[in-house]
Chain A
Amino acid sequence: MTDGDWAIVTKDLRKSYRGRAAVDGLDLRVPAHGVHGFLGPNGSGKTTTIRMLLGLVRADSGRMRIFGTSVPRALPEVINRVGAIVESPKFFPTFTARRNLDLLARAIGAPRTAVEDVLDRTGLRDRANEPYRGYSLGMKQRLAIAATLLKSPDLLIFDEPTNGLDPAGIHEIRGTMRRLADEGHAVLVSSHILAEVEQVADTVSIIGRGRLLASGSVAEVVGDRSGAVRVGIADPDGAAQVLGTAGLVVRRDGEALVVEGERDPARVTYLLAQQGRYVNSLSQVGAGLESVFLELTSGHELGAPPHVAPEGGERS
């Protein structure tokens, strides 16, 4: 596959702030179809990467391409194929939704009917004449999505789109992303919550400290790494020491312990019982980004080669 067959390709992308690397040699490939989760903990470089792709932040070095077009040098050539919401939606607070959209539509020469069309598609028509500042966060997100749709983009970028949303809002955004992908758009969604993205993403890339840790389909990346065991026990510190000595990855979660990457609760109870320690409660928890992320980085130098390469992609 050539770079043009991918929605986004970055090679050895780097960006530092005051000598501290925010993005550190990132090689990223986002397929031209489907939902791609761009995952990493807070501060891992997701937003900086997105901002560099959109020309809002200058990269120190490296190469970026969107649909094969080199950015930011030729960004104006491809910008109309890209709709993006970076961090939270940002519009003029005193303007109505319709006014905000109208200004953006005029900037790209979109027909006036486009505004009404995207208002309909996002269910905002009835409240389109209200000032943006009065909108709930969910409505702001819908307006931001409406703005991205003004361009009829081939690629949609959502940066932490569910931050601050209630469950209904999160569900709605997920549904919207899935629908857009099913309509043929490529969707890149960044998040620090894998569990949230894995319900909607077809492929994911996981980054940490600005470097790619893993990339591929959700099943491939999460695969056997999923699972953790939550242990309630009287002396969590002592128990953590026992489990740690046995080679398990353990972290404190309040008064409980979470054994990362462990799918067999029996092994946990066995190891503890051997040392005369008995659990009060035991439960399996699904994989979160944190558990996968900890496993990916545990025992490896940060930025180790990704475990799984996307289909048709390169191992890097």
Chain B
Amino acid sequence: MRLLGVELTRLRSRLAIVLLLSIGLASTALFAWAAFGSAQPMTDAQLAEAETQWELARQDWEETGDEQVASCEEAEAAESEAAGEELDFGCDELAPQREWFFWQPPPFDEFVGAALSSGQMILCLVALMVGVTFVAAEFASGSIGTWLTFEPRRIPVFVSKIGATALAGLLFGLVWTALFMAANAAGYALAGSEVTIAATQVHTVARAAVLAMAVAVAGAGLAFVVRHTAAALGIAIGYLIGVDMILLGAVVPGGQRWTLVNNITAWITGRPVSYYEDSCTVEAGGTVCDWVERTVSMSQGGVVTLAMVLVVTVVALLTFRHRDV
């Protein structure tokens, strides 16, 4: 506990880390602006224009609706016969609906979930950089050597540094997500839209905090392995581009199930993330491919993210324990 306390003090005293965390927290203000823009009700001019368009569409439907339905059904029948199976062109849903012309802001809960999908990038990036710089700077300055002449037991030293990083990540995640929610709520409220606070949002804050903790620990682990801030960040970004986006995302069949982006998004939003795979079968007439929707669940997202962080942490521990300083 003594070492953990010292590491927390060291972390708090690092100007670079304080700056990073401050910038990360300040970034939530941007989401208030985005929420305000998205929650804006239609102006009177827009309402008048929508009313005009709705009236035109309704009149057009009254005049040509039967003809459009008949044409649709004819095409549906022809294609079904050609394909050898029954197809649905949705011919009974062609009639224009009034709500199509009068836009409404999405419910707050739904909007926040979507905003968090993009906002998590900032959360993860800041948490990663905090973890990386906290450890790598000690190797860069050489102060880790001095430290080990005071406390030569490497496992306690490792645990205290990882522990301090984890606590910092957890706290940052909690505050960042709470501010993120508050910023979005403020944006919605200022725009005059309804804000509903649900239990799911509290759960989201908790999951985001856990995610920030995990990413910060992974960053610290990477820094223990490569001992350099730029190298550690390069590896993280290289993994996201080379492995996550290209290899798993586009080359390996079924690889999207294991991408960090999909798994982290599922975890933080608490909703399944959909992706599509092409499923091809060879038939008499040739190869027939179809898009199959698959999902990554929240629980899978949590398990995959945790597993990756554990792997990085174990490699970091073994490296730090055995490598010369």
Contacts and interface: CB of A to CB of B under 8 A. Distances in A.
Interface string A78-102: 0100111010111111110001100
B152 A75 contact: yes
B147 A79 contact: no
Contacts of A144: 146
A103 B9 contact: yes
Contacts of B153: 76
Interface string A97-112: 0011001101111000
A95 B13 contact: yes
Sorted nearest first, the 10 A-B pairs with minimum C-beta distance are A90-B142, A57-B324, A55-B152, A56-B325, A75-B152, A106-B6, A84-B149, A107-B150, A90-B146, A92-B143
A184 B324 CA distance: 32
28 contacts: A51-B325, A54-B148, A54-B149, A54-B152, A56-B325, A76-B152, A79-B149, A79-B151, A79-B152, A84-B149, A86-B146, A91-B141, A91-B143, A92-B143, A93-B141, A94-B14, A94-B16, A103-B10, A104-B146, A104-B147, A104-B150, A106-B9, A107-B2, A107-B147, A108-B151, A109-B2, A147-B146, A151-B150
Contacts of B325: 51, 56-57
Interface of B: 2-3, 5-6, 9-10, 13-16, 137-138, 141-143, 145-153, 322, 324-325
Contacts of B5: 106
B20 to A, nearest CB: 14
A127 interface: no
Given A55-B148, A57-B324, A90-B146, A107 B141 contact: no
A86 B145 contact: yes
Nearest to A57: B324
Nearest to A151: B150
A58 interface: yes
Interface in A244-261: none
Interface in A92-143: 92-95, 99-100, 103-104, 106-109
B145 A56 contact: yes
A72 interface: yes
Nearest to A104: B150
B137 to A, nearest CB: 8
A57 B15 CA distance: 31
B6 A94 contact: no
A107 B151 CA distance: 7
Main SS class of interface, A: loop
Contacts of B3: 107
B142 to A, nearest CB: 3
A51 B324 contact: yes
A82 B137 CA distance: 25
A16 to B, nearest CB: 12
A78 B13 CA distance: 30
A103 B324 contact: no
Contacts of B9: 103, 106
B28 to A, nearest CB: 27
B15 A79 contact: no
A74 B73 CA distance: 86
A86 B10 CA distance: 22
Contact of B148 (A56, A58, A89): A56
Contacts of A82: 149
B13 to A, nearest CB: 6
Given A90-B143, A99-B13, 9 more contacts: A54-B148, A54-B152, A56-B149, A56-B324, A79-B151, A89-B146, A90-B141, A90-B142, A104-B146
Given A103-B10, A107-B3, A94 B149 contact: no
A86 B141 contact: no
Nearest to A147: B146
Nearest to A95: B13
B150 A79 contact: yes
A103 B6 contact: yes
Contacts of A91: 141, 143, 146
Contacts of A55: 148, 152
Contacts of A94: 14-16
A49 to B, nearest CB: 13
Nearest to B323: A58
Interface in A58-72: 58, 72
Nearest to A92: B143
B319 to A, nearest CB: 13
Nearest to B324: A57
A25 B182 CA distance: 67
Contacts of B148: 54-56
A192 to B, nearest CB: 20
Nearest to A91: B143
A82 B149 CA distance: 8
B127 to A, nearest CB: 21
Contacts of B13: 95, 99
Nearest to A144: B146
A5 to B, nearest CB: 23
A21 B285 CA distance: 71
A58 B148 CA distance: 13
A112 B5 CA distance: 15
Contact of B2 (A93, A100, A106, A147): A106
Contacts of B150: 79, 104, 107-108, 151
* Residue among A82, A92, A99, A144 having the largest count of chain B Cβ atoms under 10 Å: A92
Nearest to A51: B324
A56 B321 CA distance: 10
A293 to B, nearest CB: 27
Contacts of A57: 324-325
A92 B10 contact: yes
Contacts of A72: 152
Interface in A143-198: 144, 147, 151
A90 B148 CA distance: 12
B83 to A, nearest CB: 68
